[in-house]
Amino acid sequence: MENPQQSWFSKLWEQTKESLSIKQIVQHDGRYHERTKPVLDVAKRGGYQGARMLFNPLWCYHCFVGVVMFLTFVGVIMVFSSSSITMLSSDKSPWSQGANQAMFCALGLLLCALGAHIQPRVYRGLSGILLIISWFVQLLTLTPIGVEINGNRGWINIGFTTVQPAEFMKLAVCIWMPLAVIIAKSRAADTRNNNSYAVPIIMLGICCALVMLGKDMGTTMIVLIIGVIALLLGGMPGKWFWSMVMLAVVASTALIIQSPNRLARVTAAYTKCGTATGFADTCYQSVHAKYALASGGFLGVGIGNSREKWNYLPEAHNDFIFAIIGEELGFVGTVMIVLLFVILGWCLLCVALQATDRYTAMVLMCIAVWILGQAMVNIMVVIGLLPVMGVPLPFVSAGGSSLVMCLGAAGVAMSMMRQQAQIATATDRLSS
């Protein structure tokens, strides 16, 4: 039963899925029946030709896998290039950061392969346990094993390295939130009472609060966006959505005002950085990121030839690696990275729109929002459209937790995509 109060976003989603289908009149038992089929399935006999190739789920699946692998490979190369001088300055091998990235890349690819072969019903069954585990691990950041980096207490020390639990929480939210919203929508339809949406909203609020206890506002924002998209896809009433938006705006404003560091970053992002004090303090990183992008020109100065990585640009191998890509690979390199993320998002969206299972479609959309949203935030920070937030570029920035969890999310997405009939047939043929 349709909920008249469902959000415009949910209605748009359903209308878009319907627009990718056509109605056929078929004869069965001497009677004529109306049957709805995806328009691309009807075109199978003629194959996917021309612009319709962009909607081919099998093409999207292989493109998604290829883009993830290529971005990861580019990330390892660029981390090697951008971190060498920083490592030498710290009396370490110039290859140490790159070697760590390669090690986490191998671990992430293993997790990706494992995740791709787990059935969606297993994710559905374990979603609640995964969310509770993510809460517990996130709380460990507030214990003595918690580590504070650049003002954020969002890491835990496990001996040989540090890990960021919030990255695991993003994946847990992507897996649990769709199921919770589907259950809430079903109960709302049965009781004609939208209070059932309170449960996923409260749980999302707990996730955001736990991350925010570590003062990581950038990651909190990503977790919140993932959850809100799931709620919108699940038909959360519009008035609930706007209430959440107002609450988020008020809370964000209060958190920015009460923190001198956050307030300085926001002020620096939207005011001129011409004063000596502003340049030396909050504007330094943003200004040198723009220097890197500007000096790269059209084709770049070449891999390994960056000037800004000589300790001029802080976090050159991490949150600001996009600036080094722009310097070493030029405008062409940055456009290539942006296009790869666009292709990745399109592939997830296309398969989600053609999915017959609502849970599968919503998980794919949540992962798409996570990866694309985080990439957009990172790039907008580097080019100066947003204040510095400490959000890494997915698959590319240095950082084991981010890389492993992004590859893990890719594995989950591959598992969900394999439920599509054409993809399932092709992958089964390859594995047999």
Tens of pLDDT, residue by residue over 82-113, are 998 888 888 888 888 999 999 999 999 999 99
* Contact between 382 and 320 (Cβ < 8 Å): yes
DSSP assignment, residue 237? B
> What average pLDDT does the segment 151-163 reach?
86
Closest to 283 (Cα-Cα) out of 326, 314, 317: 314
* pLDDT over 70 (residue 246): yes
With the C-alpha atoms ordered 157, 158, 163, 167, is the resulting torsion angle positive or negative? negative
Q: Would you say residue 35 lies in a domain?
A: no
Residue 243's CB is within 10 A of a number of other CB atoms, namely: 12
Residues 6+ apart with CB under 8 A from 420: 57, 61, 351, 354, 355
Residue whose structure tokens are 């020390």: 157
Q: Would you say residue 214 lies in a domain?
A: yes
Closest to 172 (Cα-Cα) out of 143, 134, 215, 142: 134
Gap between the Cα atoms of 408 and 224, Å rounded = 20
User: Collapsing DSSP states into helix, strand and coil, what is residue 313?
Assistant: coil
Per-residue pLDDT band for 76 (boundaries 50, 70, 90) equals very high
Q: Would you say residue 34 lies in a domain?
A: no
Per-residue pLDDT band for 56 (boundaries 50, 70, 90) equals confident
Q: Would you say residue 428 lies in a domain?
A: no
Q: State the chain's mean pLDDT as an integer.
A: 85
CA–CA distance from 197 to each of 177, 222, 234, 365 (Å)? 11, 20, 9, 19
> What average pLDDT does the segment 403-422 reach?
94
Closest to 189 (Cα-Cα) out of 158, 123, 152, 234: 234
Q: Would you say residue 210 lies in a domain?
A: yes
CA angle 182-220-170, nearest 5°?
A: 50
pLDDT at res. 273? 65
The least confident of 99-108, 233-242, 249-258, 365-374 is 233-242
> What average pLDDT does the segment 18-27 reach?
48
Distance of CA 204 to the CA centre of its chain: 16
* pLDDT over 50 (residue 378): yes
What is the 3-state composition of the chain as percent helix, strand, coil, each rounded to the nearest 5? 70, 5, 25
pLDDT at res. 260? 81
* pLDDT over 70 (residue 432): no
User: What are 215's two structure tokens?
Assistant: 């003062």
Strand order in 146-149's β-sheet? 146-149, 152-157, 162-163
Gap between the Cα atoms of 305 and 85, Å rounded = 11
Distance of CA 35 to the CA centre of its chain: 36
* Contact between 50 and 327 (Cβ < 8 Å): no
User: What are 304's two structure tokens?
Assistant: 């390994």
Q: Would you say residue 316 lies in a domain?
A: yes
pLDDT in tens, 316-353: 899 999 999 999 999 999 999 999 999 999 999 999 98
Gap between the Cα atoms of 190 and 1, Å rounded = 8
> What average pLDDT does the segment 64-69 reach?
96
CA angle 315-317-321, nearest 5°?
A: 95
> What average pLDDT does the segment 126-130 reach?
95
Provide the domain count of the chain.
1
* Contact between 164 and 213 (Cβ < 8 Å): no
Domain containing residue 308: 57-260+283-420
Q: Pick the more confident residue, 11 or 340.
A: 340
